[in-house]
Amino acid sequence: MDGTGRRRGAALEDAILRAAADEMREAGYAGMTMDKVARRAGTNKNAIYRRWPNRAALGVAAYRQLARAQMTVPDTGTLRADALELLAKANATWSSPQGAVLRDLLAAAGDDPQLLGLLREQAGDTTMDNAWLTLLGRAVARGEAPPEAVHPRVASLPMTMLRGEYAVRGLPSVPGAVLTEIVDEVFLPLVRGRGATGPGR
């Protein structure tokens, strides 16, 4: 029909992934049924199950197409503004339809650590952590934060709290006031606190 006859290998795989991503875009992960993906890709379920063991695995694989978000690390000159900007960007992603897909995928992959790891990789999770570490590094270079502030737990804290908000509330977006509270009441005080020679131990 198309000049190109029967697709094979990578070409077919691409078509399937694209179809799955489109389905998720239109109807979310819940709406992505295997039959619809197969029809949309112009193939059948056999070809899918030969590549992925189940729906969740396909969804995770297809999510990469959805999450093309390459992030630029903000560099405003102050740690506070940098942090707020990065948080706001993450919040925008999470509250978008794509964020809903991501959350459904997280739930679906929840009992399969391997799949979960793959998903987090494709969702740009390590990229995000690195961005926060960069932020902190710059703040230290400016003398705005003590060197002890550069720590993975500190770096991942704002995103963890943001995710926590989504877990506590339902779907709607997290209000901006919460973001500033996370930064002003927790993140920045923590950065300061790690500078103080604590009697904490």
Partner DNA sequence: CAATTAGGGTACGTAAAGTACCCTATGGGT
Partner DNA sequence: ACCCATAGGGTACTTTACGTACCCTAATTG
What is the smallest separation between the CB atom of 43 and a copy of itself, expressed in angstroms? 30
What is the per-residue DSSP string for 116-149?
Answer: HHHHHHHTTHHHHHHHHHHHHHHHHHTTSS-GGG
Site string for DNA, 7-46 (x = CB under 7 A): xxx--xx-----------------xxxxx------xxxxx
112 binds DNA (CB under 7 A): no
CA atoms of 186 and 77, how far apart (whole Å): 20
55 binds a copy of itself (CB under 8 A): no
- Candidates 50-58, 65-73, 128-136, 189-197 — which segment interacts with DNA by CB under 7 A? 50-58
**Cβ neighbours of 200 (radius 10 Å):** 6
CA atoms of 66 and 90, how far apart (whole Å): 15
Q: Taking every pair of C-alpha atoms in the chain, what is the biggest distance, in angstroms?
A: 76
Find out whether 191 and 157 touch, Cβ atoms under 8 Å.
no
Among 18, 25, 40, 47, binds DNA (CB under 7 A): 47
62 binds DNA (CB under 7 A): no
Find the distance separating the first CA and the last CA of the chain, reported in whole Å.
Answer: 73
Site string for a copy of itself, 177-196 (x = CB under 8 A): ----xx-xxx-xxxxxxxxx
**Residue 40, CA atoms < 13 Å, CB-side half-sphere:** 19
Which residues does 39 contact at the CB level (< 8 Å), separation at least 6? none
Find out whether 132 and 73 touch, Cβ atoms under 8 Å.
no
Considering CB distances under 5 to 8 angstroms, the limit depending on partner class, which of a copy of itself, DNA, none binds residue 8?
Answer: DNA
Among 18, 25, 55, 120, binds DNA (CB under 7 A): 55
What is the smallest separation between the CB atom of 149 and DNA, expressed in angstroms? 45
Which residues does 150 contact at the CB level (< 8 Å), separation at least 6? 133, 136, 137, 140
171 binds a copy of itself (CB under 8 A): yes
Residues forming the site for DNA (CB under 7 A): 5-9, 12-13, 31-35, 42-47, 49-50, 54-55
Residues forming the site for a copy of itself (CB under 8 A): 80, 100, 103-104, 106-107, 110-114, 116, 120, 151, 153-154, 156-157, 160-161, 163-164, 167-172, 181-182, 184-186, 188-196, 198, 200-201
